[in-house]
Structure 1
Amino acid sequence: MRKFNIPEEKKYFYFFSFLLFITMLYVGHLLNQIGLHMYVNRINSTSIQYEEFRKMKLPASRIKKVKKDTDKLEDLTISMLINDYELSGKKNMKKRDIKKLVLQVSENKTYQELKKYYYEILNDIKYFPVPLKENGEPYVTFEDSWYADRNYGGARKHEGTDLIPEYNVTGLYPIISITDGVVEKIGWLEKGGYRIGIRSSSGAYFYYAHLDSYAEGIEEGDEIKAGQLLGLMGDSGYGPEGTTGMFAVHLHLGIYIDTPAGELSVNPYYILLYLQSQ
């Protein structure tokens, strides 16, 4: 059998290369552990930043993952906590690192509370509230008007999203329920006009305002299915019952959750982008 003799200097080269490789692996692992430890400390030492959370800056791709697998709520909650509630341009953490973080913060009240809110808001959403055209194009446009200034009834902020139709015609565009749920409120509000509020099965409250009319027979306490007709789009509100025409025809959509501090609104804009894309 032919023997190969490795020069002594190459033996040293291979040996030190192997040592360098092992050292780099160890240092990489150590840095990763330090990073995870910093994230754990950060989560354990903070409370929910409600104003940032309420902006709900969730890419449609992340919502889609949660809808396919509710275990992804852990990923979403951790990612929002360590990225200041802003995921645009941020890389996803490795699955094994997420699992390590979840194990270490699973009893943390901030993590538990935030995860609960995302579950309540996202778990039941199914349909865009204004059915699309036969060709799949939308009848409405909308933009992120969260916290824009409003003046009726005094200076205040806009806590929802307005969906504006092609034609400024009342009673033309059907409004359907985004979720399964129960009719919690129906009737006139000075600012919201003819409105209907659906409490979803998971706990979030979906508020549809400025309707022209309601679907026949809907009453408080009725069970509603996702996709069920709620009424027709209108321009009601900003005055005593029956007031119309104070603004252009549109649907105002609001989403609310119950918190220890009371009811809070969250931005529907990114949820609507997701629903429209489905």
Structure 2
Amino acid sequence: MLSSIEDYRESKDTFRELKISDHAMKQILDFTKNKTNSFNKETIDIITFNMLMNNYSINNNSRLLFQLNDINGISYLKNSEVYRDVYEKYNTIFKDIRYFPVPKDLTGEADVTYENSWKRPRTYGGNRIHEGTDIMASNNKAGYFPVISVSDGVVEQKGWLEQGGYRIGIRSESGAYFYYAHLASYNEELEKGDVVTAGTNLGFMGNTGYSKVVGTTGKFDVHLHFGIYLDDNGKEMSVNPYWVLKYLEDYKLYFNKNTQ
């Protein structure tokens, strides 16, 4: 267990992995009698405590502890700087998420897949690491899959980025920045500063980017790059979206391409 802020700072990379399985998340939500995809204070407390006790990794075989007030030393832990900081970060990540960012195709003609590609090497623009999850379209067709907001929030960024192509960024009510990149097109009704609700269409999945020339396509397969960023004492910090997406698998909206 991490007991000091020094230990916590040294473990930031481990924290950023965000390793909490969907099965463990369901156990926690079941215990708090919170069957919907929303997170209350008790839920976040249990996530925080168990992640600290298990070195930021909860899998399907982890022994989860639920009765926080009965655990020896919990009062000390909950009053510590480490606990408060980690609690706020988990609250920021999880409190506002509602839906998987790509709806399911009712026609069954295509689907999406993704894997844990966190920190895999990327070379465009120089050597760097992948700070997100790529959600791939099985039909590799730009403009086919809609992309929706996973949360309520405000449109903070919209426009072209050399690496991200057409991208849009939504700041949630709790402060998480959700980043949607490589879009084929936007929801033209949305502008910076607009308020959106979870499930709002942001645009369509594409393969734009990897160029300074606005509108460049075809440098890679069609996919959505989905990223999550937090404020960490005034600095931007990315966290691994893979585990969030695994949880949101049970909360997909639907679309029918034949009726669009």
8 Å Cα contact 1:149-1:157 kept in structure 2 = yes
1:140 matched to 2:109? The reply is: no
Q: Deviations over 1:230-268 (max 9, x none)?
A: 001111000021111111110000000000161011000
Between Structure 1 and Structure 2, how many residues are aligned? 238
Per the normalisation by structure 1, the TM-score is: 0.80
Give the match's secondary structure for 1:90. Answer: coil
Q: How does 1:204-243 map to 2 (within 5 A)?
A: 204-240=176-212, 241-243=214-216
What is the identity percentage for the equivalent residue pairs of Structure 1 and Structure 2? 44
Q: Which has the larger radius of gyration?
A: 1
1:82 matched to 2:44? The reply is: no
CA-CA distance at 1:201 after TM superposition: 0.7
Give the match's secondary structure for 1:187. Answer: strand
Q: Distance in 2 between matches of 1:196 and 1:57?
A: 26
CA-CA distance at 1:76 after TM superposition: 1.3
Match of 1:33 in 2: none
1:57 matched to 2:28? The reply is: no
CA RMSD after TM alignment: 2.0
CA-CA distance at 1:107 after TM superposition: 1.9
Q: How does 1:182-201 map to 2 (within 5 A)?
A: 182-201=154-173
Q: Distance in 2 between matches of 1:261 and 1:137?
A: 45
8 Å Cα contact 1:58-1:87 kept in structure 2 = yes
Match of 2:241 in 1: 268
Structure in which a larger fraction of residues adopt helix: 1
Structure in which a larger fraction of residues adopt strand: 2
* Structure 2 unmatched runs, 5+: 30-37, 252-260
Aligned pair partner of 2:226 in 253, 257, 267: 253
1:70 matched to 2:70? The reply is: no
Give the match's secondary structure for 1:43. Answer: coil
Q: How does 1:51-130 map to 2 (within 5 A)?
A: 51-64=13-26, 65=28, 67=38, 69-88=40-59, 89-96=61-68, 100-130=72-102
Give the match's secondary structure for 2:192. Answer: coil
Per the normalisation by structure 2, the TM-score is: 0.85
Q: Deviations over 1:123-145 (max 9, x none)?
A: 01101111113389982000000
8 Å Cα contact 2:68-2:74 kept in structure 1 = no
